[in-house]
Amino acid sequence: MKYLSSAKIALAVLALASPLKATELKFANFTPPFHTVNASVIEKLNSDVSAATNGQLTVKGYHGGELGAGPVEQYVRAVQGAADITWGLPGYTSSQFKKTMIVELPGVLNDEESGADALCRAMDEIRSEFPGTVPVALWTSEPNIMIMKEKVVRTPDDLKGLKIRVAGATAGKVAEALGATPVQMPINQVYNSLQTGLIDGVFTGSSTLDDFKLDEVASSFTLGAPLGRLSFFAVMNEGAYNNLSESDRAAFDGASGCSLGNNAETAWNARGQAGVERARGVAKNTFVDLSAEQAKMFAEAVSNVTADYVSDVDGAAAFSAMKSE
């Protein structure tokens, strides 16, 4: 039997005692750290992967556009490796996410249904829309509401000719069906655009009341119209994902996906509800809660939007998957 030299024994012991090299994933966040995405996605993901790997794999958020400003470019930043993980809205590059955005349309989901689950069910149909990345989480916002600078909206006629900011192509078609002129711009430009009158209002989730302080520059809010939702993605650079060790990748897979998407969606809904409750208490604000009869007028006005869009993007299979129980 051969015996190792004392030097070799010392080296072997040192190797066994040395910890494996830790990996920190950079998560780019174009919004401030108080935005809902930080606690519900970035910190949640970090907490879960860190616990599963005893701290060997962690996720660090870089907030306020530190790794590159501008929400429109977030997907490209993940592909190019400027960050390991980014998040954003499919609507900002609608032509890339035609089938994914079906989930945003009126009537695809009722108010109580999970958009995260719907997107997971449709993954086989939409996966090709995420080239160069691995989807980390997909989710939707709370139902869209109307946030208006001044105009009180009770019927579709009240919107005719008004300039309404939308996040993407699907919301744009809804706005057009209601007689408004859609204006596409990223959310970080909306505050100033409302303040200066560049736009008359916004179709978006009520979470923006707190996340982007929109009720500081708006005074009229209409709830209950079938305006659909927004959708969101968090994606990881494909190379960075493949470079993880097998155990780290398994831990990452366990912490991401449908459960993380649902965690984000739950947080978005809670944030939206809190924003509405707070804004209702502000004296300058007018809230319109549509009656069933009033909501029906909006539903009739947008009744063809979903079917036409699904047909235009050859999205019947994705639509069916999203609608499945």
292-324 residue pLDDT tens: 999 999 999 999 999 999 999 999 999 999 997
* Contact assessment for residue 262 and residue 114, using Cβ atoms and an 8 Å cutoff: yes
Fold entry, domain 23-140+230-270: D-Maltodextrin-Binding Protein; domain 2 (3.40.190)
Q: Is there a common fold for 23-140+230-270 and 144-228+281-323?
A: yes
169-205 residue pLDDT tens: 999 999 999 999 999 999 999 999 999 999 999 999 9
Crossing angle of the two packed helices 258-280 and 44-52, in degrees rounded to 10: 150
Kindly report the backbone phi and psi dihedral angles of residue 164, in degrees, each rounded to the nearest multiple of 5, phi listed first.
Answer: -115, 125
Q: What is the pTM of this model?
A: 0.91
Residue ranges of the domains in the chain?
Answer: 23-140+230-270, 144-228+281-323
- Name residue 145's amino acid: I
Contact residues for 164 (Cβ-Cβ < 8 A; gap 6+):
175, 180, 181, 182, 183, 199, 200, 201, 202, 203
Residue whose C-alpha is closest to residue 109's, from 124, 99, 119: 119
Read off the pLDDT of each residue in 27-49 and give the average, rounded to a whole number. Answer: 97
Q: Provide CATH code, domain 144-228+281-323.
A: 3.40.190.170
105-124 residue pLDDT tens: 999 999 999 999 999 999 99
